[in-house]
């Protein structure tokens, strides 16, 4: 679930195809000058991209990508026809006409031709659908924001309604105004992301410091010695299988980078497990002999050990 959350954020913000990765910026720069045009473009883009990516998933991967890309473009062009007819009905023909060549070129957008191969078709169908929707929502949000702000600043209106603006910047309607606006917005979006990332890293560093202190206390508690180098303590789980399989049940507790095991171990200690020196190990090796009511946690710790092994693989 956690991974899914991260990937959804990716499409909307972290890998936003307008402000962060720049995969689809031509229509936003040149065409998103009013809210109406932005909305029309978003509607066409959403329908064409979503349905094309969904339909083209069934195309066999045996066909070379240099040829598959043709099918993607043709499918997108076919879906473009009903999409434009629908948008004309909803938004009116004038908006479609004012968008000019920027609606038809959406059939060769990078979300369909590049991102589908590198990301969407690698995922399972269940993961792909929300991921695609988030990427599309990311484009829509960026496009509508750009269109609305440029209309306000360039014309002093929003959606055609007059706003009493003290000044206007007509150059924002032009292509070079679009380049400058989107470039500056992309810089701000990246700055915001970098700031957020630095904040997260600081939080993780603080947490690791706390865990290091906790691990030191834990080592002192286990060995009865101060500065007992807790990073080297190894905990042997009681093997339920043959003795030959024992090494698979070893949990190497590296306190410095494995917080989940530290927490798990703390839970075992707090739950009344008996600690005794391991027979085969030295002074630094301990085994955890669990009481009967700890069986549920044992399964959990087994799972986490397996997960750890999977991750390492």
Partner 1 sequence: MTAFMNVLMASIIAIFVQNSIFERALGINVLLYASRKREHLLGFFAAITYTTTISSAIIWIFDGLFAENEYYSIFMPILYVAVVSVLYILTLVLIWRFFPKLFRNIRKYVHLSVFNCSVIGALFLCSVQGADIFTYIGYGFGTGIGFLLAAYLLYIAADRLNSPLVPAAFRGFPIMLVYVGILSLALYAFTGYTTSAV
Binding residues for partner 1, rule: CB under 8 A, are 21-26, 29-30, 65-67, 69-70, 73-74, 76-78, 80-81, 84-85, 100-101, 104-105, 107-110, 113-114, 168, 170-171, 174-180, 182-184, 186-188, 190-191, 194
- Shortest distance (Å) from residue 188 CB to partner 1: 7
Using alpha carbons, list the distances in angstroms from residue 117 to 45, 83, 105, 110, 226. 18, 23, 19, 10, 55
Burial class (CB in 10 A: 0-12, 13-18, 19+), 121: middle
- Based on CB atoms, which residue is closest to partner 1, 165 or 269? 165
**In the 8-state DSSP scheme, what is residue 60?**
-
- Shortest distance (Å) from residue 47 CB to partner 1: 14
- Based on CB atoms, which residue is closest to partner 1, 78 or 222? 78
Sign of CA dihedral 225, 227, 230, 234: negative
- Shortest distance (Å) from residue 105 CB to partner 1: 4
- Cα dihedral 104, 105, 110, 111, rounded to 10, equals -20
Q: What is the helix (H) or strand (E) element at residue 237, kind and residue range? A: none
Residue (of 15, 71, 4, 77) closest to 47 by Cα position? 77
- Shortest distance (Å) from residue 194 CB to partner 1: 6
- Shortest distance (Å) from residue 134 CB to partner 1: 20
How far is it, in rounded angstroms, from Cα 307 to Cα 131?
Answer: 25
- Based on CB atoms, which residue is closest to partner 1, 180 or 250? 180
- Based on CB atoms, which residue is closest to partner 1, 23 or 59? 23
- Based on CB atoms, which residue is closest to partner 1, 113 or 218? 113
């Amino acid at each position: 679930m956690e991974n899914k959350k991260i990937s959804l954020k990716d499409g909307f913000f972290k890998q936003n195809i307008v402000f962060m990765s720049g995969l689809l910026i031509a229509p936003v720069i040149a065409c998103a000058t009013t809210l109406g045009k932005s909305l029309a473009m978003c509607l066409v883009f959403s329908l064409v991209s979503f349905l094309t990516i969904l339909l083209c998933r069934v195309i066999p991967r045996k066909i070379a990508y240099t040829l598959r890309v043709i099918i993607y473009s043709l499918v997108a062009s076919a879906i473009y026809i009903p999409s434009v007819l629908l948008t004309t009905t909803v938004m009116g023909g004038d908006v479609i006409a004012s968008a000019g060549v920027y609606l038809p070129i959406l059939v060769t957008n990078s979300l369909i031709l590049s991102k589908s191969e590198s990301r969407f078709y690698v995922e399972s169908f269940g993961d792909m659908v929300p991921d695609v929707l988030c990427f599309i929502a990311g484009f829509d949000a960026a496009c509508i924001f750009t269109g609305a702000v440029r209309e306000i600043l360039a014309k002093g209106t929003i959606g055609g309604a007059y706003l009493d603006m003290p000044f206007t910047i007509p150059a924002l309607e032009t292509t070079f105004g679009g380049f400058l606006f989107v470039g500056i917005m992309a810089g701000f979006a990246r700055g915001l992301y970098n700031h957020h990332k630095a904040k997260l890293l600081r939080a993780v560093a603080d947490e690791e410091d706390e865990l290091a202190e906790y691990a030191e206390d834990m080592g002192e508690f286990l060995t009865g010695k101060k500065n007992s180098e807790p990073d080297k303590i190894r905990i042997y789980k009681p093997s339920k299988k043959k003795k030959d399989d024992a090494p698979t049940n070893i949990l190497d507790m590296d306190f410095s980078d494995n917080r989940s095991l530290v927490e798990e171990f703390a839970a075992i200690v707090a739950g009344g497990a008996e600690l005794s020196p391991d027979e085969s190990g030295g002074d630094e090796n301990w085994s955890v002999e669990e009481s009967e009511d700890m069986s549920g946690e044992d399964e959990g710790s087994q799972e986490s050990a397996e997960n750890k092994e999977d991750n390492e693989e």
